[in-house]
């Protein structure tokens, strides 16, 4: 069984809930527990929020790409922006690390993604953008 979806949307925070809803719809037929669905929606929220807020500084003229792949009970979520990029990925992934303390960011986005995912891969280059790939086994 295999299913795939790819979409691009404007880099505005309004679209975070849209992305959350999309992943829930994508998984509707899997008959997953509410708990699992909520974990997956949270992964998507954190990754997309980062792309919008950090990648593009909330510029709706820019586009965030989200890709969902369901294959053999494994969900792969890819979120990509072509924005600012991350100078030090290792540091950015540390709990409580944030470059936007002023804006009430907790610095826990990557930590939450790691807790709810089976694997989190971050590829980034300053000035070029960031790709986050999270995988999760669905039971
Ligand atoms: N897509 C991205 N583009 C640029 N920087 C990012 C991106 N995602 C994360 N970062 C950097 O990594 C840091 C940590 O991210 P995160 O753990 O989600 O915490 P927070 O979003 O609360 O700052 C951010 O403060 C930011 O500097
Ligand atoms: Mg974040």
- Looking at residue 51, which CATH number applies to its domain? 3.30.565.10
Domain span at 35: 2-137
The count of structural domains within the chain is: 1
Catalytic residue among 46, 80, 93, 100: 46
Distances (CA, A) of 132 to 13, 25, 104: 18, 21, 22
Catalytic residue among 38, 39, 93, 105: 105
Helix/strand/coil percentages in the chain, nearest 5:
40, 30, 30
pLDDT tens across the length of the chain (139 residues): 799 999 999 999 999 999 999 999 999 999 999 999 999 999 999 999 999 999 999 999 999 999 999 999 999 999 999 999 999 999 999 999 999 877 778 899 999 999 999 999 999 999 999 999 999 999 8
Three state DSSP letters for 24-67: HHHCHHHCCCHHHHHHHHHHHHHHHHHHHHHHCCCCCCCEEEEE
CA angle 31, 34, 36 (to 5 degrees): 85
CA of 50 to the centre of ligand 2 (A): 5
Cβ 62 under 6 angstroms from ligand 1 = no
**Ligand nearest to the CA of residue 16, numbered in listed order:** 2
- Do 30 and 138 touch, CB atoms closer than 8 A? yes
């Amino acid at each position: 069984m295999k299913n795939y979806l790819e979409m691009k949307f404007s880099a505005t925070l309004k679209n975070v809930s849209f992305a959350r809803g999309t992943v829930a719809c994508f998984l509707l037929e899997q008959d997953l527990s509410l708990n699992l669905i909520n974990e997956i929606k949270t992964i998507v929220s954190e990754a997309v929020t980062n792309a919008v807020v950090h990648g593009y500084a909330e510029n709706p003229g820019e586009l965030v790409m989200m890709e969902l792949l369901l294959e053999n009970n494994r969900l792969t979520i890819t979120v990509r922006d072509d924005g600012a990029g991350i100078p030090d990925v290792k540091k950015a992934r540390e709990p409580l690390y944030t470059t936007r303390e002023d804006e009430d960011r907790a610095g826990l986005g990557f930590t939450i993604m790691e807790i709810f995912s089976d694997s989190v891969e971050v590829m980034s280059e300053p000035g070029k953008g960031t790709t986050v790939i999270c995988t999760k086994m669905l039971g």
